[in-house]
């Protein structure tokens, strides 16, 4: 989910701007520093067919480099603004308009996927996850502005370092880190609220935890499959309605991971027989790249581990934490991959002589 792209000089600048905003470019993703280095160097070929690279570009190259830096910086600012806006709007819907955390984040996500390019919609959804925090954790609208700023900064850091790319729940983990940072910062300045949020509480008896384990795992699997089914259905509808451009374009928009997660959140909140929190956790987990979870069987396995992680985190980050479900999703994917790797290594046949 890189936020910068650097294209060769022969591609028109207007096309580069379009690719940056729409995320459709096929060029390699680079950070601002990498793009600057590439733009400030050019190559020549001598008579022996050898390539000589010079870091002192011509005035035209330097001018183009400055323009590209401006484009990349503008894209980064747009991404940060998307995270910030998603966080504040989701927080307001959640706490002041009584939407509740999952419908609030789903509303922001669906609006973002309708109005914004996919990469900006992803950034907005990350902010929306942090806005799922309750007032016990983020005590007011002004602290939520700080939360949005922290979430945007954390998103930029994760993107630059390429941490956990392709792992479902990554955006929620970013939101949780921002939420925890804001909570710790506020706890130092203001006295803790009695009966409010806590980083760690006491676990209920084991019998209660075990009784909650099966429903958590089941609904996590259901949420993951609902999210995947939504994406597959919308992609199929987009292919079937190619001649109806408006319908096909709408289906393409609704086939993105942001739209699928948001739709799953709405459906899980509306269907009485489904527990929305673990189902939403499963939807986040299903955002994993096919390189991380290759099959539906792997998705089910990771969802089962994700359900277990939700129970393990039940007495951690108490009081309505933004991004907690995403954290459980990340742990579910990483835990499943670790179990699978261990299993495959244990059963690997020894080479024959």
Q: What pLDDT score was predicted for residue 60?
A: 63
* Residue 79 burial (C-beta neighbours within 10 Å; 0-12, 13-18, 19+): buried
Q: How many Å from the N-terminal Cα to the C-terminal Cα in the chain?
A: 46
- Which is higher by pLDDT, 202 or 51? 202
Q: How confident is the model at residue 42 (pLDDT cuts 50, 70, 90)?
A: very low
Tell me what the mean pLDDT of segment 96-121 comes to.
97
Tell me what the mean pLDDT of segment 230-250 comes to.
94
The two structure tokens encoding residue 328: 């459980």
Q: What pLDDT score was predicted for residue 351?
A: 54
Q: What pLDDT score was predicted for residue 64?
A: 65
Is the pLDDT assigned to residue 30 strictly greater than 70?
no
Nearest to 105 by CA among 131, 135, 79: 131
* Average pLDDT, rounded, for the chain: 85
Q: How confident is the model at residue 346 (pLDDT cuts 50, 70, 90)?
A: confident
Tell me what the mean pLDDT of segment 49-64 comes to.
54
Q: What pLDDT score was predicted for residue 188?
A: 81
Q: What pLDDT score was predicted for residue 348?
A: 75
Strands (E) in 189-318, as ranges, are 198-200, 316-318
Q: What pLDDT score was predicted for residue 69?
A: 86
Distance CA 59, CA 281 (A): 52
For residues 288-324, b (16+ Cβ closer than 10 Å) or e, as one string?
Answer: beeebbeeeebbbbbbbbbbbbbbebbeebbbbbbbb
Identify the weakest region by mean pLDDT among 4-18, 161-175, 195-209, 268-282. 4-18
Identify the weakest region by mean pLDDT among 52-61, 283-292, 296-305. 52-61
Tell me what the mean pLDDT of segment 228-247 comes to.
94
Q: What pLDDT score was predicted for residue 219?
A: 98
Is the pLDDT assigned to residue 57 strictly greater than 80?
no
Is the pLDDT assigned to residue 146 strictly greater than 70?
yes
Tell me what the mean pLDDT of segment 197-207 comes to.
91
Tell me what the mean pLDDT of segment 281-288 comes to.
97
- Which is higher by pLDDT, 12 or 233? 233
The ranges assigned to domains in the chain are: 71-346
Q: How many CB atoms lie within 10 A of CB 229?
A: 13
At 315-331, the pLDDT tens digits run 999 999 999 999 999 99
Q: What pLDDT score was predicted for residue 349?
A: 58
Q: What pLDDT score was predicted for residue 66?
A: 85
Q: How confident is the model at residue 264 (pLDDT cuts 50, 70, 90)?
A: very high
Q: What pLDDT score was predicted for residue 50?
A: 42
For residues 10-47, b (16+ Cβ closer than 10 Å) or e, as one string?
Answer: eeeeeebeebbbebebeeeebbbeebbeebeeeeeeee
Q: How confident is the model at residue 314 (pLDDT cuts 50, 70, 90)?
A: very high
Q: What pLDDT score was predicted for residue 345?
A: 87
Is the pLDDT assigned to residue 187 strictly greater than 60?
yes
Q: What pLDDT score was predicted for residue 350?
A: 55
- Which is higher by pLDDT, 82 or 349? 82
Q: How many CB atoms lie within 10 A of CB 245?
A: 9
Q: Please, what is the angle between helix 170-189 and helix 118-130, to 10°?
A: 40
Instruction: List, in sequence order, every residue forming a beta bridge with 316; answer none if it has no partner.
Output: 200
Q: What pLDDT score was predicted for residue 195?
A: 60
* Contact (CB, 8 A) for 6 and 30: yes
Q: What pLDDT score was predicted for residue 32?
A: 38
């Amino acid at each position: 989910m890189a936020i910068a792209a650097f294209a060769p000089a022969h591609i028109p600048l207007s096309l580069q701007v379009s690719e940056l905003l729409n995320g459709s470019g096929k060029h390699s993703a680079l950070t601002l520093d990498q793009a600057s280095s590439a733009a400030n160097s050019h190559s020549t070929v001598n008579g022996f067919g050898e390539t000589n690279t010079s870091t002192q570009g011509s005035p035209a190259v330097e001018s183009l480099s400055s323009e590209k830096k401006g484009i990349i910086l503008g894209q980064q600012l747009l991404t940060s603004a998307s995270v910030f806006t998603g966080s504040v709007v989701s927080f307001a819907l959640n706490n002041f308009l009584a939407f509740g955390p999952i419908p609030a984040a789903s509303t922001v996500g669906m609006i973002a996927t309708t109005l914004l390019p996919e990469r900006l919609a992803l950034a907005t959804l990350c902010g929306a996850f942090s806005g799922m925090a309750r007032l016990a954790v983020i005590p007011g609208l002004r602290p939520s502005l700080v939360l949005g700023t922290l979430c945007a900064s954390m998103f930029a850091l994760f993107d630059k370092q390429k941490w956990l790319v392709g792992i479902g729940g990554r955006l929620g983990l970013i939101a949780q880190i921002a939420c925890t940072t804001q909570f710790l910062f506020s706890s130092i300045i203001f006295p803790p609220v009695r009966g409010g949020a806590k980083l760690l509480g006491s676990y209920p008896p084991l019998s209660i935890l075990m009784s909650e384990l099966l429903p958590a795992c089941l609904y996590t699997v259901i949420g993951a499959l609902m999210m995947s089914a939504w994406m597959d259905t919308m992609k199929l509808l987009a292919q079937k309605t190619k001649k109806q451009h408006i319908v096909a374009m709408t289906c393409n928009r609704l086939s993105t991971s942001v739209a699928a997660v948001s739709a799953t959140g709405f459906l899980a909140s509306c269907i009485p027989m489904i527990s929305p929190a673990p189902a939403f956790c499963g939807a986040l987990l299903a955002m994993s790249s096919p390189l991380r979870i290759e099959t539906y069987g792997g998705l089910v396995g990771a969802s089962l581990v994700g359900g277990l992680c939700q129970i393990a985190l039940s007495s951690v980050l108490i009081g309505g934490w933004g991004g907690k479900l995403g954290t459980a999703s990340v742990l579910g994917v990483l835990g499943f991959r670790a179990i699978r790797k261990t299993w495959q290594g244990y059963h690997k046949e020894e080479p024959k002589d």
